[in-house]
Amino acid sequence: MANRIMRNLSFLVMASAAVPAAAQPAPNRLGIAPSAQSQDFVANKQQFQLHSLLTEQRHPRSFDLSTRIAADTADGLAALLSVDEDITAALQGVADDPARLAALEAASRDITRALRDGHRLYFYGTGSTGRLAETIESGLWRPFWQRTAASPAMAKIEARFPGLGERVRGEITGGDRALIASLEGFEDIPEIGRLQLQDNGIRPQDLVFAVTEGGETSAVIGTALAAADQAGADARRTWFVYNNPDAVLRPFERSRRVLDDARITKIPLPTGPQAITGSTRMQATTTSLYVLGVVLEDATRALLREVLTGDELAALGFNDAGIGDRLRGFAAIQRTTAAAAPKLAAWTDREAASYAAGRHATYLATRALMPVFVDVTERAPTFRLSPLDTVNAPERRSWIQVWTPSADGAQAWQALLHRPFHGLDKALYLPPFENGIQDPYLREAALRGLSNAGDEQQALYDLSYSPANVQRSGPQAGDAGALILLGDEAHADANRAWLHAFAAAGAEPVLVSVSARPVASDVLADVAALPRAVPVIAVTVAQRDAFELNQTIALKMLINAHSTGVMAKRGRVVGNTMTSVQPGNLKLIGRATWLILSHVNAVLETPAWREAGGSTTPLGYAEANAVLFEAIEQRRNAPGAGSLPEVELSVVAVLDALKAGAPIDWNAAATHLRAGGLSRYLAPYATATGERAP
User: How confident is residue 306, by pLDDT bands cut at 50, 70 and 90?
Assistant: very high
User: How confident is residue 467, by pLDDT bands cut at 50, 70 and 90?
Assistant: very high
Q: What is the pLDDT of residue 688?
A: 37
Q: What is the pLDDT of residue 542?
A: 83
Q: What is the pLDDT of residue 671?
A: 92
Provide the residue ranges of all domains of the chain, joining segments of one domain with +.
2-58+577-685, 85-336, 339-569
Element at 124 (helix H, strand E): strand 121-125
Q: Does residue 259 register a pLDDT over 50? A: yes
Rounded CA separation 318/312 (Å): 9
Q: 477 to each of 396, 481, 502, 507, 508, how far by Cα in Å?
A: 16, 11, 9, 5, 8
Rounded CA separation 300/302 (Å): 5
Q: 417 to each of 122, 146, 170, 385, 412, how far by Cα in Å?
A: 15, 12, 10, 24, 9
Q: What is the pLDDT of residue 687?
A: 56
Share of the chain above pLDDT 90, in %: 85
At 257, is the secondary structure helix, strand, or coil? helix
Tell me the pLDDT tens digit for each residue of 475-518.
Answer: 999 999 999 999 988 889 999 999 999 999 999 999 999 999 99
Q: Which residues make beta-bridge pairs with 515?
A: 540
Q: Does residue 544 register a pLDDT over 90? A: no
Q: What is the pLDDT of residue 638?
A: 73
Q: Does residue 4 register a pLDDT over 80? A: no
Mean per-residue pLDDT over the chain, rounded: 92
Q: What is the DSSP letter of 137?
A: I
Q: Does residue 337 register a pLDDT over 90? A: yes
Element at 514 (helix H, strand E): strand 508-515
Q: Does residue 348 register a pLDDT over 70? A: yes
Whether the domain at 85-336 and the domain at 339-569 fall into the same CATH topology: yes
More confident residue, 263 or 231: 263
Tell me the pLDDT tens digit for each residue of 278-301.
Answer: 899 999 999 999 999 999 999 999
Tell me the pLDDT tens digit for each residue of 84-141.
Answer: 999 999 999 999 999 999 999 999 999 999 999 999 999 999 999 999 999 999 999 9
More confident residue, 613 or 30: 30
Q: What is the pLDDT of residue 27?
A: 54
More confident residue, 453 or 49: 453
Taking the CA of residue 287 as centre, how many other CA atoms within 13 Å lie in the half-sphere pointing to its CB? 33
End-to-end CA distance of the chain: 12
- 399-424 b/e (C-beta count within 10 Å ≥ 16 → b): bbbbbbbbeebebbbebbbbeebbbb
User: How confident is residue 635, by pLDDT bands cut at 50, 70 and 90?
Assistant: confident
Q: What is the pLDDT of residue 694?
A: 45
Domain 85-336 annotated CATH 3.40.50.2300: no
Q: Does residue 693 register a pLDDT over 80? A: no
SS3 content of the chain, % helix, strand, coil (to 5): 60, 10, 35
As separate numbers, helices (DSSP H) first and strands (DSSP E) second, the chain gives 30, 10
Left (φ > 0), alpha (ψ -120 to 50) or beta: where does 402 sit?
beta
Q: Does residue 276 register a pLDDT over 70? A: yes
Mean pLDDT of 442-461: 95
Mean pLDDT of 540-544: 85
The CATH code that applies to domain 339-569 is 3.40.50
Tell me the pLDDT tens digit for each residue of 40-58.
Answer: 999 999 888 888 899 999 9
Tell me the pLDDT tens digit for each residue of 5-32.
Answer: 333 333 333 333 333 344 344 458 999 9
Under 8 Å between Cβ of 554 and 569: no
Burial bucket for residue 534 (CB in 10 Å: 0-12, 13-18, 19+) = buried
| 333 φ/ψ angles, rounded to the nearest 5 degrees | -65, -45
